Structure 1
Amino acid sequence: MIKNLLSFLSIFLLVLLVVYGVHIGVVNFFSINNDPTIINLSYIFNAVYTIILITTILILRKKFKDQIGFIFLAGSFIKLGVFVAITKLNGIVMDKSVFLDFFTPYVISLILEVYYVSKILNSNK
């Protein structure tokens, strides 16, 4: 379990760091006047939440092997709600101009989460 988790975490963090670098590079290259706070918050939040979600799924995979998909769906739904709550509590305005600043790390995290959870589900057969 620990080996699988470390493998996922290394790939996940590497991909997320590369995407973050490209994202910041594009914002700087095109002189887009985006607040870096929302970009940093989005990447950090998605990284931490994904690590917690995947670790939880790995811990629960034996006991709740038939419910792992539902746990993942609930976790993904909660992720959106928690992020919106954090932004509202900190006074960060989420409008169309900052949509991609949240959506980019969310989609990258979601793709890697889905891939890894599908591997977990297939290994439970």
Structure 2
Amino acid sequence: MKIKKTTIYIILFFIMFFLHFGIWQYLEVGFETTFIRYYLFLTLLFTIVITILSIIKKIYPNYIGFGFIGLVMFKLMIMFLVMKKLNLNEVPNYKVHFVIPYLISLVLETLYAVKLIQTEEVTESPKDEKNQ
């Protein structure tokens, strides 16, 4: 049984969540509701980006990179709005606890987009050879 590449990135995201939650509990930081609400929102954004990139690959496969750049800008804008709503600055060392998971999810999304672009290039090469 072969695991889809989308599933691998989602599993890695949840491993990051459980690892971070374990560290959070070990350090006894508190603010568990803020932590859970932040991760719910981050998970929602992560799944939206992965889903939209998959849709772009099916409809407009040549524009995956542009879609990714637009989604990253959208995600960053939404994160600044939500950070104020969740009062993340009340948590001690909030930059370490909230910026690092955001960056890790961004790296996972980037790797997913790169895989989509690479598979698109592989599928296009035989077509180009047939046309010549």
TM-score past 0.5 threshold: yes
Q: Answer yes or no: is the 8 Å Cα contact 1:54–1:113 preserved in 2.
A: yes
Distance 1:59 1:91, change over 3 A: closer
Question: Does 2:12 match 1:10?
Answer: no
Q: Answer yes or no: is the 8 Å Cα contact 2:9–2:108 preserved in 1.
A: yes
Per-residue deviation, 1:98: 0.8
Partner of residue 27 from structure 1, selected from 13, 24, 28: 24
Q: Answer yes or no: is the 8 Å Cα contact 1:61–1:68 preserved in 2.
A: yes
- Counterpart Cα distance in 1 of 2:88 and 2:81: 11
Partner of 2:51: 55
**Count, aligned residues:** 119
Per-residue deviation, 1:91: 5.1
Name stretches of at least 5 consecutive residues in structure 2 with no aligned partner.
Answer: 122-132
Question: Does 2:62 match 1:69?
Answer: no
Question: Does 2:41 match 1:45?
Answer: yes
Per-residue deviation, 1:69: 1.0
TM-score scaled by length of structure 1: 0.76
- Counterpart Cα distance in 2 of 1:120 and 1:9: 10
Name stretches of at least 5 consecutive residues in structure 1 with no aligned partner.
Answer: 1-5
The Cα offsets for residues 80-111 of structure 1, whole Å up to 9 and x where unpaired, read as 211221232x3514377211222232122112
- Counterpart Cα distance in 2 of 1:56 and 1:17: 19
TM-score scaled by length of structure 2: 0.72
Per-residue deviation, 1:17: 2.4
Partner of 2:82: 86
Give % identity.
24
Per-residue deviation, 1:27: 2.1
- Counterpart Cα distance in 1 of 2:103 and 2:30: 19
Larger Rg, first or second structure (1 or 2): 2
Partner of 1:102: 98
| Larger RCO (alpha carbons 8 Å, 6+ apart) | 1
More helix by share: 2
